Structure 1
Amino acid sequence: MELTIGMQLTLEPTYTDRNEKFRCKVVEVDEHIFYIDYPVNIETKKTAFLIDGAQFLVLFTSADGNASFALNSEVLGRKNDGIPMIAMKRPRAEEIVKVQRREFVRVQTRVDVAIATEHMTYQLTTEDISAGGIAAILRGHEQLEENQTVELTIVLPFENGDTHYVMTEARIVRIFEKDDVLKIASIQFVEPMDVDQQYIVRFCFERQIMLRRKELNQ
């Protein structure tokens, strides 16, 4: 899926904890750059003035509205060619990821997670993660039960070197064996903060791109 002139975009900043969204349109496309009109804050309706180097998660849908896509980009500068425009870094085609409903995009990846019960804390890793919950790999000795409420601390390492810790209440939905090898606890978040969900969505998106790069390099 390529960026085209007139396409409507939603920008979500990845450089701040503020849960903001901006709406804009593509007005010009070059080989390594795409240009947008000045974005408008969806909530306040005010025009945003983006600083050079600011990084964003960019979301858009296909012309028929049947598919959604996401990419990472950053502000490169400004241009005025009859209308004021903002220059954004254009990703390679393989770095544009097709997504499902964003809050439920699930990525198979291993990250560290701590599961705390009333009496014990277990240091484990995930089998997969989404903005709605995780699947944690159990070692077999954990005293965990289905429908049990626990406290999670999830470590999210990002490509730029930043690390974010998501801490949230959660409920164990199911405990099962996968392929007769792994024992898995499927865990659902209980009302996580919007900021934490934003970080998880960003992390899942980055991991999708990493997996796609590995597939292309094989």
Structure 2
Amino acid sequence: MYPKVTEIFYIHIDSDDNKDGTVVYKSRLSDIDEESFLIEMPMNESNGKLKKLYFGDELSVEYITEGGIKNYFNTYVLGFKEDVIRMVRIHKPHLDDISKIQRRTYFRVNANLEIAIKKENNMRFITHTEDVSGGGISFFSEAKYSLKEGDILSCWLLIPYKNGSVEHVPFIAEIVRVKNGDQNRNIAMLKFTDIFHSERQKLIRYCFERQIEFRNR
């Protein structure tokens, strides 16, 4: 289902400016036609400033519909409409290109990301993830680290986005399961116990980008 007119959009701008890739802008859907959405100029919620967009700018958009369903799609700027305030015309995605997930339910994607781990005894090591989601991650671990269910870990995850920007996401997590892997490695499965909303959103955005990438292969 497409969003309704007046729906609030939360937008990431996938520009060459790395800072823009991590800022969330707020907008509102004003009109819909067969090929495009017409939206208000995006506003940076942290400082109230409007963001000037340009023809061809690539955007990642999130909106929430009834029942707490989060919807994500990628789009780009088609042009502008001069009204009482300037409006932005963006490409209308095909329904199949809009991803949906339940609020508090997160889809998981395979991802080989670098992650730094610190145990409660201050032992530290660096490894790579097997998969990630907005609710937790799995990573590879050598048996010598003796990880077990219930361990609490402090973690720093390195996240690269498709526009070239890189984010570090810190969080606290609990091991919910450790299973035997191959090549003398185990796989530790974690759920987040302490993570800022803004940091979780970075992970969700990465998962969304990966899902679109897999779909387009």
**Both proteins in one fold, TM over 0.5:** yes
Q: What's 2:9 paired with?
A: 10
Identity of aligned residues (%): 28
- Which residue identity is paired with 1:6? V
Runs of 4+ in 1 over 6 A off after TM superposition: 39-44
Does the 8 A contact of 1:133 with 1:187 survive in 2? yes
* Unmatched segments (≥5 aa) in structure 2: 14-19
- The structure-2 alpha-carbon separation of the partners of 1:94 and 1:157, relative to structure 1 and needing over 3 Å to count, comes to farther
Work out which of the residue numbers 198, 201, 204 in structure 1 matches 2:207. 204
TM-score when normalising by structure 2: 0.74
| C-alpha contact (below 8 Å) 1:52/1:77 kept by paired residues | no
Structure 2 equivalent of residue 59 of structure 1: 62
Q: Is contact 2:62–2:72 with CA below 8 Å preserved after alignment?
A: yes
Q: How does 1:1-218 map to 2 (within 5 A)?
A: 1=1, 3=2, 6=5, 8-13=7-12, 15=20, 22=26, 24-31=28-35, 33-37=36-40, 49-53=50-54, 56-60=59-63, 68-75=70-77, 77-80=79-82, 84-91=86-93, 94-101=96-103, 104-117=106-119, 118-177=121-180, 183-214=186-217
Measured after TM superposition, the shift of residue 207 of structure 1 is 0.8
**How far did residue 82 of structure 1 move?**
7.8
Give the letter aligned to residue 31 of structure 2. V
Q: Deviations over 1:89-136 (max 9, x none)?
A: 444555322223266332232212121223432222212212222111
Task: Give, as a single letter, the amino acid of the residue that structure 2 aligns with 1:168.
Answer: F
Q: CA, structure 1 residues 91+161, in 2 after alignment: closer, same or farther (shift >3 Å)?
A: farther
For the residues of structure 2 that align with 1:172 and 1:65, how far apart are their CA atoms?
A: 30
Cα deviation, residue 160, structure 1: 0.7
Q: Distance in 2 between matches of 1:195 and 1:66?
A: 18
- 5+ residue gaps in structure 1? none
Q: Distance in 1 between the 2:172 and 2:68 partners?
A: 34
Count the aligned residue pairs.
Answer: 207
Q: CA deviation at 1:209?
A: 0.6
Measured after TM superposition, the shift of residue 25 of structure 1 is 2.2
Taking a change above 3 Å as real, the CA distance of residues 4 and 131 of structure 1, as seen in their structure-2 partners, is closer
Question: In structure 2, what residue type is equivalent to 1:52?
Answer: L
The 2-side partners of 1:208 and 1:200 are apart by 12
TM-score by length of 1: 0.74
Structure 1 39/114 Cα, relative in aligned 2: closer, same or farther at 3 Å?
A: closer
SS of equivalent residue, structure 2 residue 168:
strand
